[in-house]
Structure 1
Amino acid sequence: MELDVVSLSRFQFAMTALYHFLFVPLTLGLSVVLAIMETVYVTTGRAIWRQMTQFWGTLFGINFVLGVATGLTMEFQFGMNWSYYSHYVGDIFGAPLALEGLMAFFLEATFVGLFFFGWDKLSKLGHLATTWAVAAGSNFSALWILIANGWMQNPVGAAFNPQTMRMEMTDFWEVIFNPVAQAKFVHTASAGYVCAAFFVLGVSAWYLLKGRHIALAKRSMTVAAAFGLAASLSAVVLGDESGYLATEHQKMKLAAIEGMWETEPAPAPFTAFGFPDQEARETHYAIHIPFVTGLIATRTLNTEIPGIVDLVKLAEERIREGIKAYDALQAIRAAGSSQVPQAVSETFEANARQLGYAYLLRRYVDDPRQATDAQISQAAWDTVPQVGPLFWTFRIMVGLGVFFILLTGTFFYLSARRRLDAHPWLLWVAVFAIPLPWVASECGWFVAEFGRQPWIIEGVLPTAAAVSDLGITQVLLTIMGFVVIYTVLAIIEMGLMLKAIRKGPTFEPANPRPSSNVPQPGAGIPAPLPAE
């Protein structure tokens, strides 16, 4: 990474975003798990389900606090490191962020307080409604953030104003119902549910292995297995929808993910394995599975998916059209309040959608109109993200997704057979698998955001043009500050979580039944488990 303001600003935002996203998935998923458990408690009246809700709620609360603390800094960074971005698209981007704060964050925070302190003050139905409100608030919060992020991937409902030099909203509802944003939300929410399911599954498996809190652990595993299997299947299906939309709106990202340098005959194959070579512009030792990418990405047998080389040629054409728009823009601004010639206005309107491509040339020349053919060609190749990291990160995510389905499906089957503790080695697999959904989620965010480069807003504003006017020293100091603070927060988070897990529930039901297969500490042959 070059030591410049743009690279350092990108690194800082990526670091804080990836760290913040360690807490978001668990918040999304555990909020729904708590609502499910309390619903069972209210409908059955069995105290064990209240105990489960309170225990997992404690872990949810620890995670929620850290999520809020790390999330607040994300929004401040738009003004700190990305001030031109905030100026350029604040009219659009600011709206969902404001709604997230007003409608979702305060709703969520209010009901979280009622969840913890209202057990003996609210009726059963009243507290259940509170818990479902926490779940709704958590997911609404994610929705508004992903509407903002989805707009960066597919900027709809907005137009550039040459007089103010800003993007302005033209259709609020088009921004809200942006198909990319909606697909990202449901896919991200499903990924969060998988994280929560594996967290509950793994912690419960640890309790079974230690012979502790057996009743709570088995019931928690039953909920987690069913919830996790449904979420894992949903994540795969909804991820397919995101890939389909990328075919329409982010063709270069899709080609880079597949390591597809040349346009393949329809339907395109899926590259299961290979080593992308950015310099040679080919993927070495590629192993292809026929038809798969074409069928998934286009849902047809006869639609081509353009390769990287052809997309670079298209980018070069757009850069030349963007130069025309840039030239007309300068004429419009020079005219000021005077009448702009009709020919100039028509030229700008015809090429305005490609104006952002002209700004790619700012890396090589101050005035895009003075760019040479070689500089235009180089700028066109700049639209290609780093293929290798995208290629492998995507495959790690997909591979883990398949593993999640297999593991949750196995525990779902064992739960139905009442044999959750039949295989201790499988319980250890569940324990050690706890971090894997977070790995998959972070990989997903990396693919989504790194794959969009060099754009901060796809096709509209290059990342290099969006930074604040800061010095390298200033950015480095803030990076070091974030590293120190976030390291301390991580230690606090892990310490509190582990302490709460070791302590376990605050009370046990009368006559807890031991496991039939997992030995009890200090016991000889365990008693058989009575039929439930």
Structure 2
Amino acid sequence: MPDPLIVDLSRLQFALTAMYHFLFVPLTLGLSILIAMMETVYVMTGKPIWREMTKFWGVLFGINFALGVATGITMEFQFGMNWAFYSHYVGDVFGAPLAIEGLMAFFLEATFVGLFFFGWDRLKPVTHMTVTWLMALGTNFSALWILIANGWMQNPVGSAFNPDTMRMEVTDFMAVLFNPVAQAKFVHTVSAGYVTGAVFVLGISAFYMLRGRHMQLAKRSFAIAAAFGVASTLSVIVLGDESGYAITDHQKMKLAAMEAMWETEEAPASFTIIGLPDMEARETHLAIHVPWVMGLIGTRSFDTQIPGIYDLVDHAEDRIRNGLYAWDALEAIKADRASPAAREQFAQYQDDLGYAKLLLKYTEDPMAATEEQIRAAAWDTVPHVPSLFFTFRVMVLSGVLLLGLFVAALWMISREDPLPRWLLHLSVWSIPVPWIAMEIGWFVAEFGRQPWVIEGVLPTFLAASNLTLLDIAITITGFTLVYGILAVIEVRLMLAAISKGPAVVDAIDDLVPGMGEGGNRTPALTPAE
């Protein structure tokens, strides 16, 4: 088993790189759809202002897209460098969606990004609009396959452990593809990305209106962002409910921790608005409850219970004991691969093998574990309740506040001209909110799965590579420095483009002939040439 400090540092490194990469992903998702909508209006109306809007927001999209690609590549290498046993153990399953994402989604996205930027004066308007929509589709496809892979980590369906190869293998790829947890995560995450794009466009447009610059572009962009933002935020809320319903079925401990629900309540369970979860006392102090709400959200019924943490720990203890039968059978198979009795016993208890592996934290031989070690391992299945409890509520509150902002913006853009300055200032200051909410959302999703890297299959402390402390220190330092430099570059480029406004398009036109508003700037070739 790897050194616990190495495991923690490997988790820290992956968290840093993943959270940094995800600064770019949601904006890419949201801007791609908004740009496609703007160009569609341009093609339908023929008004040049919509073309100018498409190209301006497209420049910001391009900067963000480039940084997203640069930071995303390193994450896949970490599976081999920092999580070697994870890659060996589940690579046959986890690697398939990642490969498809690269071959299908990323190549599609990258191809049409190039056509979007270089095809303005080489493609007919309708053709270029189609390219823009395909670019947006590729962006969403990319998110789909990544979230299928992540959804399998949360709910490992369509796969089984093969005692002959000692690895997880695909048994039903369609089950992996249509995993309900993955599908719920996809629509919820993509909708949140749309909200991010809408807030970004809304805030930058408000900034221009406060400065009295580029008013035609700003007002139209503000209006389309407000309308798109209302629809997207409502989608996030509705699809968040669907995600919560999926968690109820497949990750009961995560849900109980998010709600700080220590005891199983009478159905339907109440929702805790606020409280003070106490991990040592294993109770929640000063809790304020709303009757029935959690039961309706989590089970969509009035008579289905949501189990509390104590009952789930008891259930985990039972699974650990069952997992010991699987462990014992697996050892017998290693000694005699033809043993029918051992294979029959393993087949009966193989779903609980991962729970037996939790005991490796306490003993080299799980079969020699004491009752105290089994109970301690069962309590290890409880993530840190206060962290999940509070971050989940910050995420929900952020969504509600953004919905209020979009509704107010849409209402006032249709009734008042000029818009009140307080609304414009609020729009500018709200730009960071969706990023905060999305980063917190990923924290809830990933930290809430602990102690599992694959839910119920592989504990996190077994998945890491056997590296040295120096190895991890060097890579964390390197990533921090490189990503810090990239952050400075990203911010400077974005601020420079925003400062220039639509003029940034003309500046790019001067560098890239053929992108200009006035037709193809490349000199025509004569027949002799």
Task: Give the TM-score range, shorter chain.
Answer: over 0.9
- C-alpha separation between the residues in 1 aligned to 2:268 and 2:505? 58
Q: Deviations over 1:402-461 (max 9, x none)?
A: 1111110111111222x2633101100000000000000001100000000000000000
Which has the higher mean CA deviation after the structures are superposed, 470-479 or 60-69? 470-479
Gaps of 5+ in 1: 510-532
Equivalent in the alignment of 1:123: 124
Q: Deviations over 1:500-524 (max 9, x none)?
A: 0010002899xxxxxxxxxxxxxxx
- C-alpha separation between the residues in 2 aligned to 1:3 and 1:165? 24
Equivalent in the alignment of 1:11: 12
Q: Please give the secondary structure, in 2, of the residue aligned with 1:168.
A: strand
Q: Please give the secondary structure, in 2, of the residue aligned with 1:4.
A: helix
Equivalent in the alignment of 2:525: none
TM-score (norm 1): 0.94
Aligned pair partner of 1:390 in 388, 391, 397: 388
Show the 5 A alignment for 1:424-503: 424-503=421-500
- C-alpha separation between the residues in 2 aligned to 1:132 and 1:99? 20
Residue type of the alignment partner of 2:257: A
Q: Please give the secondary structure, in 1, of the residue aligned with 2:307.
A: coil
Residue type of the alignment partner of 1:197: A
Residues 507 and 196 of structure 1, relative CA distance in 2, 3 Å threshold: closer
- C-alpha separation between the residues in 1 aligned to 2:217 and 2:418? 13
Residues 165 and 421 of structure 1, relative CA distance in 2, 3 Å threshold: farther
Show the 5 A alignment for 1:302-313: 302-313=303-314
- C-alpha separation between the residues in 2 aligned to 1:491 and 1:421? 35
Mapped contact 2:273–2:289 kept (Cα < 8 A): yes
Show the 5 A alignment for 1:45-64: 45-64=46-65
Mapped contact 1:218–1:420 kept (Cα < 8 A): no
Residues 420 and 196 of structure 1, relative CA distance in 2, 3 Å threshold: farther
- C-alpha separation between the residues in 2 aligned to 1:471 and 1:291? 51
TM-superposed deviation, 1:98 = 0.4
Equivalent in the alignment of 1:20: 21
Q: Please give the secondary structure, in 1, of the residue aligned with 2:503.
A: coil
Residues 482 and 372 of structure 1, relative CA distance in 2, 3 Å threshold: same
- C-alpha separation between the residues in 1 aligned to 2:190 and 2:393? 20
TM-score (norm 2): 0.94
TM-superposed deviation, 1:347 = 1.3
Mapped contact 1:259–1:283 kept (Cα < 8 A): yes
TM-superposed deviation, 1:329 = 0.2
Q: Percent identity?
A: 65
- C-alpha separation between the residues in 2 aligned to 1:421 and 1:491? 35
Q: Deviations over 1:120-162 (max 9, x none)?
A: 0111011111100110000000000000000000001111100
Q: Please give the secondary structure, in 2, of the residue aligned with 1:273.
A: strand
Mapped contact 2:56–2:505 kept (Cα < 8 A): no
**1:361 and 2:362 equivalent?**
no
- C-alpha separation between the residues in 2 aligned to 1:145 and 1:335? 39
**1:276 and 2:277 equivalent?**
yes
Q: Deviations over 1:171-207 (max 9, x none)?
A: 1111101111011000000000000000000000000
Q: Deviations over 1:374-420 (max 9, x none)?
A: 00000000000001110000000000111111110111111222x26
Residue type of the alignment partner of 1:447: V
- C-alpha separation between the residues in 1 aligned to 2:476 and 2:46? 51
Mapped contact 1:62–1:497 kept (Cα < 8 A): yes
Q: Deviations over 1:88-114 (max 9, x none)?
A: 111111110000000011111111111
Mapped contact 2:413–2:419 kept (Cα < 8 A): no
Equivalent in the alignment of 1:318: 319
Equivalent in the alignment of 2:204: 203
Aligned pair partner of 1:415 in 408, 413, 416: 413
- C-alpha separation between the residues in 1 aligned to 2:302 and 2:423? 41
TM-superposed deviation, 1:471 = 1.2
Mapped contact 2:451–2:459 kept (Cα < 8 A): yes
Mapped contact 1:29–1:193 kept (Cα < 8 A): yes
Mapped contact 1:213–1:508 kept (Cα < 8 A): no
Mapped contact 2:4–2:461 kept (Cα < 8 A): no
TM-superposed deviation, 1:343 = 2.5
Show the 5 A alignment for 1:235-246: 235-246=236-247
Equivalent in the alignment of 2:154: 153
Gaps of 5+ in 2: 507-529
Aligned residues: 504
Residue type of the alignment partner of 1:240: D
RMSD (Å), alpha carbons = 1.2
Mapped contact 1:157–1:171 kept (Cα < 8 A): yes
Residues 84 and 508 of structure 1, relative CA distance in 2, 3 Å threshold: closer
Mapped contact 2:59–2:505 kept (Cα < 8 A): no
Residue type of the alignment partner of 2:447: F
Show the 5 A alignment for 1:218-229: 218-229=219-230
Mapped contact 1:411–1:420 kept (Cα < 8 A): no
Aligned pair partner of 1:350 in 348, 351, 357: 348
